[in-house]
Amino acid sequence: MLCAVIIGPDIFSQVAQAQRADLFEFRFDLIGTVNLEFLRSLPKEKLLFAQPPPLPELFALEPAYCDIGENSHLAKLCHPATKVITSSHFKTPIPLTAKTDKLATTAFSSLDALKMLEHIEKSRQIGVCMGEDGLLSRVLGPAYGSPWTYAAIAQGLESAPGQPTIDQLLDVYRFKSLSKQTKILGLIGTSVSQSPGMLFHNQQFAVKEIDAVYLPLRLDEGDLAGFFTTIKRFPFGGLSVTMPFKRKVIPYLKDLSPYALACGAVNTIDRNFVGYNTDGPGGLDAIERYRLVRGKRVVVLGAGGVGLALAHEAKLRGAKVTHLNRTPDPASEVLGLEHLPSHYDVLIQATCVTDQLLIPQEAIDPQAVILEVMLKETLFAKVTQEKGCRVVSGKEMWLAQAYLQQRIWFPTC
């Protein structure tokens, strides 16, 4: 079930906005004044009172549920028809041993949320992980045995950190259709919340009627081993990989595609834990909408996972590639920035630098096609556009590679 959290002060409009929810949780510690007449007008089976004041007339309304927290003395005030819920809240990922009906912990990474999902499946508690990293537990909790999950009426009306809205759960993540058979996919990295992947991939799953959900999965580097061990216990569907894990995930994979092996970086993992790379083809596809690269001079700035993939793909397409980085690596044919050629046809900015130019402004060729791989606005994109260059945005590249990821995950759809 989906439980909408009513926090006030305007409980009338909030209930009106929450009609798609199965339950209304009234947080009396946040609402303040108790409006008995309004509460009496609502269906009893949709009422959940949380942290209620000890008013006999309030309990006499016979709500379906009453969350008394750890205040056991309130249980005697509850109507016999009301199910009493005890709850525990922790500012840490543990303990997962609390015996209360509801358990709320704080996720420090998405691995904590994945472990909560395992716990819910065994305990059947109302289980959630608070914080932005806890989203997985909130979206999939009921599919694994939690009686319900909590949702905010709208952004800005959250009662706990990381709480999604009703619209996000129902319209983006298709909450009502999720089950233990639903394939779990997502984006792993150290910064994932701003990716367009959640909207794009989940929309694609809906259109193609694929039973899958795509989630932001923020991890720290120390979480990788535990994550890849734990995710195998679930119906794993695949992953996107972003910085800084495009090379660091390789030891946890069963195999690499020849292409990923050649460029030394992975941005896509299939359900069999085979690594692929769609950054190179996606980026060059986006560039070649404006200029074919065969026989042209292509300069790549940056030697991380994206830079390696783009340089490899440009070579495959017949370009003359100059690969530059702030830290040269002659063994990999990566030169220092001072080796920027006087003429080039395509210039690719493949670093994570957003607020400075890595090359002199006067060295920017107005006739060049530019690819800026970052999704956010950067100084490089701004300056090159002002110089008159054709600038291919990171969004164009991202979209091209995302379609390729869909084909890897679900080749028959």
What range defines the domain where residue 390 resides? 282-398
Residues 22 and 154 in one domain: yes
State percent of the chain over pLDDT 70. 99
- CATH number where 363 lies: 3.40.50.720
Residues 36 and 159 in one domain: yes
Residues 311 and 169 in one domain: no
Residues 293 and 147 in one domain: no
At which of 113, 146, 177 does a domain end? 177
pLDDT surpasses 80 at 141: yes
Name the residue with higher pLDDT: 305 or 278.
278
How many domains does the chain divide into?
2
- 3-20 pLDDT tens trace: 999 999 999 999 999 999
Which residue of the set 246, 315, 376, 395 is catalytic?
A: 246
Residue with token string 């979209």: 399
Confidence of residue 95 (pLDDT cuts 50, 70, 90): low
Residue 126 pLDDT: 95
Active-site residue, 246 included: yes
At which of 146, 177, 208 does a domain end? 177
Range 194-213 average pLDDT: 96
- 258 located within any domain: no
Using DSSP's 3-state secondary structure scheme, residue 78 falls into coil
Residues 305 and 166 in one domain: no
At which of 127, 155, 177 does a domain end? 177
- 243 located within any domain: no
- 206 located within any domain: no
- 169-182 pLDDT tens trace: 999 999 999 999 99
Residue 92 pLDDT: 86
**Strand ranges of the sheet holding 183-189, from the earlier edge strand across to the other edge:** 212-218, 183-189, 236-241, 268-270, 274-276, 255-256
- 276 located within any domain: no
- 47 located within any domain: yes
- 302-361 pLDDT tens trace: 998 899 999 999 999 999 999 999 998 877 789 999 999 999 999 999 998 999 999 999
- 24-67 pLDDT tens trace: 999 999 998 889 999 999 999 999 999 999 899 999 999 999 99
- CATH number where 39 lies: 3.20.20.70
Q: Which long-range contacts (CB under 8 A, 24 or more apart) does 387-391 make?
A: 387/361, 389/347, 389/364, 389/365, 390/290, 390/291
